Structure 1
């Protein structure tokens, strides 16, 4: 199973376990520990590690607070034992209360004293039980909040991946047809950029520019006559790459807002690809320029298909 898919499934199951109270607090901590390891969530891993192994003499106050382990309001002392021992002590206190409630018939000269001591023991165990039960509840609540954050991040990431996969399926064929030899270089450039190779920056930007040129040649070959686009005359010769792309977008019947957005984005990308040098563009920026070029050209190439579907 894909690691992200497994993490998403585990996070969803864990949230249900907590909401339906199907697991003890220590079992929730163990299950959440696997999720934290799968997604590499540092905060969740640190918190759960402390709950599994116990708190040392000095630990981050935020986790002690999140777990409700302070003994009193001055925050000078806290309960450091592992959560599984907290649960065991809580169960011991509960059993002691049950046993004490089963007896209480006192007589004789010391009946009043014995009754008072009996009640005090019940109260003492109730206090212990309440304090330890609160820790268990706080640990579960804190774990739930962090697991919920992880779940929504994974869900959003899966949605992004699904949407991109759908777009990629629509784009790849048309881009391969339009891009010609420039497209042949994409995989090599992409691989070098993933590796963080600075020498790939110039090559990546050059490939992006050539790809834009190739798409313009494919969707709107150069002609001598100007093109009328909403009252504006556009020169669409060989050198007017962006004008030809703008003319194509207009010819598909795209809305004014969409045409304007695509025009601005193409202008910015083409300018960046044409002027970029090693000193001006980092590897990280080149990756995003490369990705944005792919997505935007894909949108341009699929506009004609959108227009046919809307007829």
Structure 2
């Protein structure tokens, strides 16, 4: 609806009052309190006490800001005034048949009425234009927020599907571990948080066992650098896996630092108090990091 409204404004398919009505529905659907207030003022008129000062300015309704004079009438009546002024201009455009002694004063009166009608038209149409411009800016912002939210939700859903599939392949109990972590973090008590972090650490262990089982001989990652990859070297084995999958050095280093910090913090969380908020972020970071490592093996496996 926001996208359609923007097109209506750009193509001048609706009058200002119709745009306000349609925008009011968008504001109501997204629960935007400020916009709902603004559109309510435009539909029903402004109070004379200046309580809506910010919207008076944005709608171009000041007649004399220093004297605190402004136009309070609704956008529908503003539109009607603009149309009336336009009709007056059209009626006066043809001039009049004046002669004799009345020629000069009648001509002056005619010109004065045209000037007044033009001034009125400029005032009322200016308010309409300013209101429409304000609506456009606000609805455009809402549209892009909604578009980003939709893209974000789609991206997260796709990522979750890939990660869950990889975790299921890595360990039949991996997803059950994640469900237990979620349940414990929902409980929120210190003991549940500690158990959740222990489960996170064990999840890292199980993934390392899956992607790079322990072995006695060290693993060489280049430039003469070797890593011990025994049962206790969980992080080394994960690093060896990222190297074997062909990940760039900068990416391997980033994943190594992230997992090292997560592993240390999850281990510390079993002995020291970790807040519920931190524990939730640690769990999410663990989930994403393991997902990235596990999905690295997909292209490599396809080549075998």
> Scaled by the length of structure 1, what TM-score is found?
0.86
Q: Structure 1 residues 16 and 197 mapped into 2: Cα distance closer, same or farther (>3 Å)? A: farther
Task: Specify the alignment match of 1:280 in structure 2.
Answer: 274
Q: Does 2:37 align with 1:46?
A: yes
Q: Structure 1 residues 261 and 74 mapped into 2: Cα distance closer, same or farther (>3 Å)? A: same
Q: Does 2:188 align with 1:198?
A: yes
Secondary structure of the 2:113 match is helix
Q: State the distance in 1 between where 2:16 and 2:193 align.
A: 51
Q: Structure 1 residues 276 and 157 mapped into 2: Cα distance closer, same or farther (>3 Å)? A: same
Q: Does 2:242 align with 1:249?
A: yes
Q: Structure 1 residues 175 and 28 mapped into 2: Cα distance closer, same or farther (>3 Å)? A: same
CA RMSD in angstroms comes to 2.4
Q: Does 2:21 align with 1:30?
A: yes
How far is the alpha carbon of 1:105 from its aligned partner? 1.6
How far is the alpha carbon of 1:207 from its aligned partner? 2.9
Task: Specify the alignment match of 1:3 in structure 2.
Answer: none
Secondary structure of the 2:70 match is coil
Task: Specify the alignment match of 1:229 in structure 2.
Answer: 221
Secondary structure of the 2:285 match is helix
Aligned with residue 296 of structure 2, among 294, 297, 303: 303
Residues 1-311 of structure 1 aligned to structure 2 (within 5 Å): 10-56=1-47, 57-74=49-66, 76-187=68-179, 189-190=181-182, 197-199=187-189, 201-230=193-222, 231-276=224-269, 279-283=273-277, 285-308=278-301
Q: Deviations over 1:227-253 (max 9, x none)?
A: 222232222222222111111111111
How far is the alpha carbon of 1:91 from its aligned partner? 1.2
Q: Structure 1 residues 272 and 49 mapped into 2: Cα distance closer, same or farther (>3 Å)? A: farther
Q: Structure 1 residues 102 and 204 mapped into 2: Cα distance closer, same or farther (>3 Å)? A: farther
Structure 2, gaps ≥5 residues long? none
How far is the alpha carbon of 1:288 from its aligned partner? 3.0
Question: What is the aligned length?
Answer: 299
Structure 1, gaps ≥5 residues long? 1-9
Q: Structure 1 residues 216 and 90 mapped into 2: Cα distance closer, same or farther (>3 Å)? A: same
Q: Deviations over 1:119-169 (max 9, x none)?
A: 212211211110111111111111111111222222222222222233223
